[in-house]
A and B are shown apart, each in its own frame.
Chain A
Amino acid sequence: MLSLSIENLVVRVPDLQQPVLVIDRLDVPSGQHLAVTGGSGSGKSTLLNIVSGLERVRQGRVLWNGSDIAPLSESGRDRWRAQNVGLVMQDFHLFAGLTALANVLLPARLAGAADAATVARAQDLLARVGLARPSQRVETMSRGEMQRVAIARALLRQPGVIVADEPTASLDVESGAAVGDLLLEVATETGSTLIVASHDPRLIERLDRRLALAAGRIVTDSAAAEVAA
């Protein structure tokens, strides 16, 4: 659905002399499943935040299907992300007091984009991720179930790319595996590009391509290794 090209990207943070992320060139074809690995502090989340438009690009270009998101304004990036990116986070970020269904619909509702079709789709998605009770309040759910709600929310607006930052890190092995399976399945079903930052080897090894970061630089890229080999 969406292909990504990064050119001459440098990300700095105020307190650090060294940039936290430097990527001269990275191309991710549409529909690819990419794993971003690396130690803590290596820049995985930074990369994901840049490509999803959460963080402003100050130096370099980040092109999705050929169009640069760097010049977009704050609100412009918000709009673009709402339409194109499905986000899944380690901490779920569900809203207590609301039902599973309401949580799935919340961003769309706040954006004024929740019509009857969207509501129906939300219900289908909850069924798809294996949740039988859309009206259950999220705070009463298990962590594995919560992450399923988060995945359903990420898929609601049919994003061209699913960006998941350590989606299994706060889950036990069993539900982590189930969530990993689910992510791969839905990405395959929808044809979405999938970018997952993870420490979880069982999840990483099942993705098309693995990118290893260290100190903000790409140290290994399985795709490049294959080409070289």
Chain B
Amino acid sequence: MISFVLADLRRLWLGAFVLVLLVALATALGVAVTLQERALRLGSARAAERFDLVVGAAGSETQLVLSSVFLQPSPLPLVPGSVLAKLATDPRVAWAAPVGFGDSFMGYPLVGTTTALVKGTTAGFAEGGLFAHEGEAIVGAAVHLPLGAEIKPMHGTAETGGETHTEITYRVVGRVKPTGTPWDRAILVPVQAVWHIHGLGHDHHDEDHDEDHEGHHDEDHHAAEAHGHDHHEDEGASVPAVQQVSDVGAPSDAAPPSAVPADHDHDGEGEHGADDHDEDGHHHGHIDPDAALNEVFTDEAPGLPAILVKPKTIADAYRLRQEYRTAGTLAVFPGEVLTRLYGTLGDAKMVLSAVAAGSQALVAAALLLVSVIHVTQRRRQIGALRAFGAPRLAVFGIVWSELLVLVLMGIALGFGGGYLAARLIGDAFTRQTGVILPVEFAAGDGAMALILLATGMVFAAIPALMAYRQSPAQALRS
């Protein structure tokens, strides 16, 4: 019987091939959607799990997480430096590190931070070691820069027409081991250097701009005082706040929550650009690459888009989150924010799954139609089999197993193809974002395969039953 089935399939190879292809494509679609969705969920959860608690200024939780954990550019409001100072000395905090972004180099985001964060979130160095001076940088595993490479940071990104900073050239001194997170694509530099480039972290007192600042930051006067002055004058002041958009250069942009009218930005920058170079030009060019790092943060520290906090215990984490959920600050568990985000994305997944299921139903219908036509066309052959003494059950078995072989092959190929597609998409995603997407099968997928298989078996049984019920005499007459 097996040899007969195989001979039959060989003879009808083209039709069989198309059937297998159809089943494979439909299966692959469903598998890819399932795997990809799971990979995205797992991958981003893993990327987030290194960051226990993120503190930022009041605003969008999602944006805070996307910017800090996934290094996605978005204009964030600033949290006052005093918050960092307070967190850093809090006994419940293992370490708290500032994250300053806004510059880039060769498409890699530059992140200003501290040695504590590097130690706390990476598994050590593949090459070299930590930065110890202002002019030193370390790179993520996916950054294609050798040790010793020179980095001239660009304000914003090349795509948005950023300009290159001339104040400093960093030198790569270390490469961290892969973490599977977007931070693999980041260039980490001392936050102190970022501040200095942008003219922050010095004590100036330009009273004239305070009002403006407070207008936006009215909920936190300390913040305004702590870092407001420099903000207003310097091109760089806004940079830590605004990761990408180079035209958001005006001081006033930094303070308000992210929704800043575009025209305002432009006005601000134009104005400030002129002012800046006239009045505050002295901030630029004052950077000493060999200056030692000072990672003790005072209330005078500039405003920050985000602070990553490592609480000592889980209870501490909850308490800290509670405490920093104030009118002016926001504290989130990235994992929790992601979970909520998936809740929203769940609908998208449902749509995709529905599309996949719809295509599978279509294929099932096409399969049924094709096999019914096939059986009708083979009436004579099937009739002859019985006329010559093959039992009805054997005839049923032949038709059924032929279809089943095709469906099985299709499902197997579909699982392989879907896996491959998910992997390829995942790899492309990893290259883009640094987030490693763990494309893997779970126990539930076995159930999916079984359901597909069972459906295939039931559908294949319909033409087989037709063949079973066919009268051999009638079949031979046609």
Contacts and interface: CB of A to CB of B under 8 A. Distances in A.
B30 to A, nearest CB: 34
B387 A110 contact: no
Interface in B380-415: 380-381, 384-392, 394-395, 398
B391 A110 contact: yes
A108 B386 CA distance: 11
A96 B10 CA distance: 10
A110 B473 contact: no
B389 A95 contact: no
A79 B11 contact: no
B392 A110 contact: no
A83 B390 CA distance: 11
Interface string B1-32: 10110011011000000000000000000000
B3 A49 contact: no
Nearest to A84: B389
Interface string A141-172: 00000000000011001000000000000000
A75 B469 CA distance: 11
A56 to B, nearest CB: 8
B174 interface: no
A98 B4 contact: yes
B386 A78 contact: yes
A49 B11 CA distance: 30
Interface string A92-107: 0101111000100011
B472 interface: yes
B476 interface: yes
Contacts of A79: 391
B386 A98 contact: no
Contact of A110 (B380, B381, B394, B477): B394
Contacts of B391: 75, 78-79, 82, 110-111
Given A96-B11, A97-B7, A153 B473 contact: no
Contacts of A108: 389
Given A49-B473, A54-B473, A55-B473, A107 B388 contact: yes
B387 A54 contact: yes
Nearest to B384: A93
Contact of A109 (B1, B381, B392): B1
Contact of B392 (A75, A95, A97): A75
B389 to A, nearest CB: 3
A89 interface: yes
Secondary structure class of chain A's binding surface, majority of residues: helix
A87 interface: yes
B390 A107 contact: yes
A98 B7 contact: yes
Given A98-B7, A111-B394, A87 B1 contact: no
A98 B473 CA distance: 24
Contacts of B387: 52, 54, 81, 87, 89, 93
Contacts of B384: 89, 93
A54 B4 contact: no
A27 interface: no
B465 to A, nearest CB: 14
A74 interface: yes
Nearest to A50: B473
A109 B4 CA distance: 10
Given A97-B7, A110-B1, A110-B4, A78 B473 contact: no
Looking at B389, B398, B476, the one whose CB has the most chain A CB atoms below 10 A away is B389
Contacts of A91: 380
Looking at A54, A55, A75, A153, the one whose CB has the most chain B CB atoms below 10 A away is A54
A54 to B, nearest CB: 4
Contacts of A54: 387, 472-473, 476
A106 B390 contact: yes
B304 to A, nearest CB: 75
B388 A93 contact: yes
A118 to B, nearest CB: 12
A106 B4 contact: yes
Contacts of B392: 74-75, 78
Nearest to B398: A110
Given A55-B473, A110-B385, A95 B4 contact: yes
Given A54-B473, A93-B384, A110-B394, A82 B1 contact: no
Interface string B437-478: 000000000000000000000000000000000011100110
A111 B389 contact: yes
Contacts of A52: 387
Looking at B8, B385, B388, B473, the one whose CB has the most chain A CB atoms below 10 A away is B388
A148 B390 CA distance: 20
16 contacts: A45-B477, A54-B387, A55-B471, A55-B473, A75-B391, A89-B384, A93-B387, A95-B4, A96-B11, A97-B8, A102-B4, A106-B390, A107-B390, A110-B398, A111-B389, A153-B388
Interface of B: 1, 3-4, 7-8, 10-11, 380-381, 384-392, 394-395, 398, 471-473, 476-477
Q: Which 3 A-B pairs have the closest CB atoms?
A: A82-B389, A97-B7, A93-B384
Given A81-B387, A87-B387, A93-B384, 17 more contacts: A54-B472, A78-B392, A78-B472, A93-B380, A95-B381, A96-B7, A97-B7, A98-B3, A102-B7, A107-B388, A107-B389, A108-B389, A110-B1, A110-B385, A110-B389, A111-B390, A111-B391
